[in-house]
Structure 1
Amino acid sequence: MRDKQHERPTAASPGFCGRYADDSGHLVDFLARTEDELRAVPPKGERDERQTAVADEAHRTARRARHRFVEAHAEHVYRELTDDRKAFLRLDDLAYQASELLPGLVPTKERIEEERALPQGAKDGREIDQGIFFWGLLRSCAAGRHLMDAMRRPTLRALAALPGFRDNGYVELGLVSVRRDGDVAEVTVDNHEFLNAEDDLLVADLEVAVDLVLLDDSVRVGVMRGAPMRHPRYAGRRVFSAGINLTRLYQGDISLLDFFLGRELGYINKIFRGITVADAAGDWLDEPVEKPWIGVVDTFAIGGGAQILLCFDHVVATDEAYFTLPALKEGIIPGAANLRLPRQAGTRLSRQSILHNRRIDAASAEGALLVDAVVAPDRVEGAVSAVAEELANPAVIANRRMLNQHEEPADVFRQYMAAYALEQSRRLYSSDLVANLERTWISRNR
């Protein structure tokens, strides 16, 4: 019986007419049939060549249908999920509610958790369906703008921790701590086991930390710096970031929503554009809460660490610090660096960095395009204090807002993130990325 099912051609793509009620019904029926075909074959690692071909074709036709549907109806779906944009839902809430509203459009939470338990190379790539969904939402002006606004709202963890932080001026969040000193708050990253490489847990802690800095009225300037490491090679030295946590990615424990999309639309966008708070001051002009930020790089900022620097208002680095963007070597897209690096470093240097993993030393002429101050290691604290005093000027907020609006309009970022959602989700399940992870994992074990 199974052999006959394998020999059946995959059902034709559903015929859409442009009316949401009809198209959604056709889509759900069609996706149920393709899901039946996928259930009829073994898990990915156990398929023979013919079964692999059947599964691949089922995914292809299903994704083609999802893509066509959200291209036409993303805004309608978003209105239904958010009660006509009255509710502000984060990425995971949107995705899992959409899986109930239109079964098959995106994977259920249970299906994602099943895949999460597998190594990256053993997954069926269900997150690609989430990438298609958020491509559709973000490319819609109305839905995309509302979604970005929702992602810039304070997290519940931050709101719960805020009273204690206001009283004590310090909070420990797990992999991140925040300490207030006068009107400056320093976010210290201490994921020492992985040299401050980012994963889902660290991204979640960083967003809470950024929220607290922005929500505390007594803070005028935010600072982000790596903690002294306990790793033998860097013992006692501060590390800003080693990029993405490749160990977690190999293990299948880096998610599209909580890491790749949540990181860009969450804490990094909050650093760049501030947070949105409903009725923040009851004023006639509803403005985001913004503050200037200083990044401090003592040794290196690799990958995602280099990406974050592009959003800071001032970067202080030691004369031994360097930056790289090895995303191409890893097989992924380096966040929003493709959008932001060219305007800071120029097209040629950007292509050399992204396509050829060129190392940029802070003390070099090229480094001057990315760093504002290069100092000896023993002069970092003094340099940070001096620039923080300058950035505490109340007029800085209005000026940084105008600079950011001109350099990167919100709609330009939204359109980039729509494309990023689709492209990054596909890269995560590409054969070359899996092969790169396998080689890296084997090499590290040796």
Structure 2
Amino acid sequence: MRSSQHFTAAAAAPDWRSWLDQAPAATRVPDIDSRALTRHLEGGAALLAALPARPQRSAAQLALAAAVHEAGRTARTRFLRLHADWVYERLTEGRSRRPQLAELVYAAADAFPGLTPTRATIAAERTALQGDKEGYEIDQGIFFAEVLAAPASGLHLLESMLRPAPSSAALLQQFRRDGRLPLATLTLERRGAAAHLTMHNLDCLNAEDDQVIADMEAAVDVALLDDEVRVCVLRGGVMRHPKYAGRRVFSAGINLKQLHRGRISYVEFLLQRELGYISKMLRGVLQDQPGALQPRQLVKPWIAAVDSFAIGGGAQLLLVCDKVIGADDSFFSLPAAQEGIVPGVANLRLGRAVGARVSRQIILGGRRIRAAEADGRLLFDEVVAPEALDQAVERAVADYDSPAVVANKRMLTLAEEPLEAFRLYMAEFALEQAHRLYSADVLAKVSRA
């Protein structure tokens, strides 16, 4: 198999019309099909390399690049439809290893040149505005969509993502020693039986970016792994933003300014949050035990305290929490249609809470649900005055500090969202969200953020 260096240093491009007509024929023999795919994609890479950077391209050059990308993506999809399990087994050594998303997709770039973009390619893309990128993350979306669509590989990947992140072990020791874990955008603190996770991305109303996702993954791991913690509490901190200075805010969702600047990553943000920490909040963390038949599943109840608003990604978090307490002036909103992207797994989960009609009103129509209104009772378990939130949280912690709560949470999750249903949803989401990131309507909207 050719190296990724050989691929990036491809020879002179063939005539583009003949290249488009020369998609590799499938033999159904993985090694042969893999080599044929690499040769074909080398030609496409050379065609793209001969063009100026995307912002400087003419209309004809933009059309050529789009045709090359489309042909390459069709070839990748056909290959993975046949060989996703074979590719995944190669990358995980027969499913004996459990790499995280980024490690997996960049290993694919090295082992199967052209199948996915290299780490260097994505790093270069991150220096451009979202609208000026080539869109290589869509190729990552194809890879994950096909792996997740393959039942055995997809399930293995979902279960791998429920393992603690590699960096969590050292942070757990720090938390056990100090009872407190300060990270860049949040703080985790043990108070009695509860771990209080307070988000404090203060200047942007707890909007999410890549750093927030990494910090949330670490904090959720630590809260679930710490044996002294039996209940987890999620809340927003006091803001510095001029409009909300001195007030707590739960979350404003995705940071659209960062998306416009090209700094919201497909893998480390959009996929990692769904397959990583949010899934762990719902299903718990899996901890491998030497000699045991099954990993240890650490499940704990999550209580959300909502000040001001939970918008977008913040609203999505409420759908995996076991109790939601809202200030009577707070609201819930999923402005997916306005932003142009898919609101995570909310399309799968929201209907269970509010019903199909209200779910469509929220996701498709942009309806806000205020905690104090009648439909707010479908999303907020308890609504109190802002100054009474602290006491309400304390009562909830006492109520949910019970082994029976943990056991029944596990059974409710099995009944409401089996892992197989989640796998099928994420297989579709992985590709749809990748395309949405580079769609004309989204690029136009984020350019105004």
TM-score category of the 2 structures, normalised to the smaller one: over 0.9
Cα distance, 1:9 vs structure 2? 5.7
Partner of 1:377: 386
Does the CA-based 8 Å contact 1:239-1:299 persist in structure 2?
A: yes
CA displacement, residues 195-247 of structure 1 (integer Å, 9 cap, x when unaligned) = 10001000100111101100110000000000011111111111010010001
Cα distance, 1:156 vs structure 2? 2.5
Cα distance, 1:12 vs structure 2? 2.3
Residue identity opposite 1:183 in structure 2: A
With 39-48 and 201-210 compared, the bigger mean Cα shift is at 39-48
Partner of 2:114: 104
Tell me how far apart the structure 1 counterparts of residues 231 and 444 of structure 2 sit (CA, whole Å): 43
**Structure 1 47/285 Cα, relative in aligned 2: closer, same or farther at 3 Å?**
closer
Partner of 2:183: 173
Which of 352, 375, 380 in structure 2 is aligned with 1:366?
375
**Structure 1 66/3 Cα, relative in aligned 2: closer, same or farther at 3 Å?**
closer
**Structure 1 313/326 Cα, relative in aligned 2: closer, same or farther at 3 Å?**
same
The gaps in structure 1 that reach 5 residues or longer are: 441-446
Residue identity opposite 1:346 in structure 2: G
Which of 16, 34, 44 in structure 2 is aligned with 1:34?
44
Tell me how far apart the structure 2 counterparts of residues 8 and 84 of structure 1 sit (CA, whole Å): 38
Partner of 2:125: 115
SS at match of 1:348: helix
Cα distance, 1:367 vs structure 2? 0.8
Tell me how far apart the structure 2 counterparts of residues 108 and 351 of structure 1 sit (CA, whole Å): 38
CA displacement, residues 360-418 of structure 1 (integer Å, 9 cap, x when unaligned) = 00111111111100001111111111111111111111100000000000010011011
Partner of 1:52: 62
Partner of 1:443: none
Partner of 2:332: 323
Does the CA-based 8 Å contact 2:84-2:147 persist in structure 1?
A: yes
Does the CA-based 8 Å contact 1:115-1:124 persist in structure 2?
A: yes
Does the CA-based 8 Å contact 2:333-2:366 persist in structure 1?
A: yes
Partner of 2:7: none
SS at match of 2:27: coil
2:282 equivalent to 1:279: no
TM score, norm. by length of structure 2: 0.95
Runs of 4+ in 1 over 4 A off after TM superposition: 2-9, 282-285
SS at match of 1:288: strand
Which of 415, 418, 442 in structure 2 is aligned with 1:433?
442
Does the CA-based 8 Å contact 1:89-1:150 persist in structure 2?
A: yes
Cα distance, 1:287 vs structure 2? 3.7
Does the CA-based 8 Å contact 1:6-1:51 persist in structure 2?
A: no
The gaps in structure 2 that reach 5 residues or longer are: 1-11
Which of 319, 322, 325 in structure 2 is aligned with 1:313?
322
Cα distance, 1:147 vs structure 2? 0.9
Identity %: 47
Partner of 2:216: 206
CA displacement, residues 88-135 of structure 1 (integer Å, 9 cap, x when unaligned) = 101111111101111000000000011111000000100000000000
**Structure 1 252/65 Cα, relative in aligned 2: closer, same or farther at 3 Å?**
same
Partner of 2:365: 356
Tell me how far apart the structure 1 counterparts of residues 78 and 391 of structure 2 sit (CA, whole Å): 56
Cα distance, 1:343 vs structure 2? 1.0
Which of 146, 152, 158 in structure 1 is aligned with 2:168?
158
Partner of 1:444: none
Does the CA-based 8 Å contact 1:5-1:40 persist in structure 2?
A: no
Where do 1:124-135 residues align within 5 Å? 124-135=134-145
Which of 122, 147, 153 in structure 1 is aligned with 2:157?
147
Alpha-carbon RMSD: 1.5
2:442 equivalent to 1:396: no
Which of 410, 417, 420 in structure 1 is aligned with 2:426?
417
Does the CA-based 8 Å contact 1:11-1:34 persist in structure 2?
A: no
Cα distance, 1:180 vs structure 2? 0.3
Tell me how far apart the structure 2 counterparts of residues 382 and 333 of structure 1 sit (CA, whole Å): 35
Does the CA-based 8 Å contact 1:344-1:370 persist in structure 2?
A: yes
Tell me how far apart the structure 1 counterparts of residues 17 and 415 of structure 2 sit (CA, whole Å): 56
Tell me how far apart the structure 1 counterparts of residues 415 and 381 of structure 2 sit (CA, whole Å): 20
Which of 339, 344, 347 in structure 2 is aligned with 1:338?
347
Tell me how far apart the structure 1 counterparts of residues 115 and 142 of structure 2 sit (CA, whole Å): 9
Does the CA-based 8 Å contact 1:90-1:151 persist in structure 2?
A: yes
Cα distance, 1:72 vs structure 2? 1.1
Tell me how far apart the structure 1 counterparts of residues 206 and 165 of structure 2 sit (CA, whole Å): 22
